[in-house]
Amino acid sequence: MIHVKNRDIVVPGELIATGNFHVQLGAEKDGENIYSTVVGIVYIDQEKKYIKIVPLRGKYVPKVGDPVIGVIEELALKKAILDINSAHKGILDIRDVTMDRSAEINKVFSVGDIVYSKVNDISGSVSLYAKPPYGKLHGGRLINISSTKIPRVIGKKGSMISIIKKYTECKVYVGQNGTIWVKGKNEGEDLALKAIEIIDAESHTSGLTERITKFLEEKVI
């Protein structure tokens, strides 16, 4: 028995369903009943019997293999400490940046640099990896959105992101932590950031890719 509609906004403590369902995310079982634990959009698959609540807000929870974009906050002897919009700082060891054994961290990075990297390990601290194709990003602009909305920015098989790249002629790097880096011509950057802001605000509506395409088409011509 289901007590809410599919794609409804739910709040913590709300009764979602009673009975035998798999809970994927954002809910908890209490005996037969399934209650929401976050503010989010509920997705119910009646056939496969699973429930997923995608949170509307929240900090990024690191996962091994995720590409993330961080800003260097501090340099230690052989490592850099990055802000990755998570509960913990990301740690980037010099060995995970370059093959050159004699390289020094303060020659490679300085505070405030933007680094595109991959989450390598989350046992203990969050350690990152930034050998090519990852690495330092030069220039460009950053935008922070909620990490839960990143899948919409990328789109199905990268459809959304390739549309943005095509119309704005920008380089776009997307971090799973909700940080997006954009570089191109000034007008292109403006447009890309605006498109991402729209996606952020309307991420829970359908037909978004078409609307973004329309928006970009109008602006480009």
CA distance 184 to 94: 29
CB-wise, 26 or 188, nearer to another protein?
26
Cα–Cα nearest to 70, from 140, 120, 135:
135
Q: Strand locations in 110-178, DSSP E?
A: 114-121, 126-129, 135-137, 141-144, 171-174
**HSE (side-chain half, CA atoms, 13 Å) at 18:** 2
> Which parts of this chain interact with another protein (CB under 8 A)?
9, 11-14, 26, 28, 30, 35, 37-39, 55-59, 87-89, 146, 148, 201-202, 204-206
Find the shortest distance in angstroms from Cβ 22 to another protein. Answer: 18
CB-wise, 37 or 98, nearer to another protein?
37
CB-wise, 4 or 137, nearer to another protein?
4
User: Which residue type, as a one-letter code, is found at position 40?
Assistant: G
Find the shortest distance in angstroms from Cβ 185 to another protein. Answer: 29
CB atoms within 10 A of CB 125: 13
Compute φ and ψ for 167, nearest 5 degrees: -80, -35
CB-wise, 133 or 207, nearer to another protein?
207
CB-wise, 149 or 173, nearer to another protein?
149
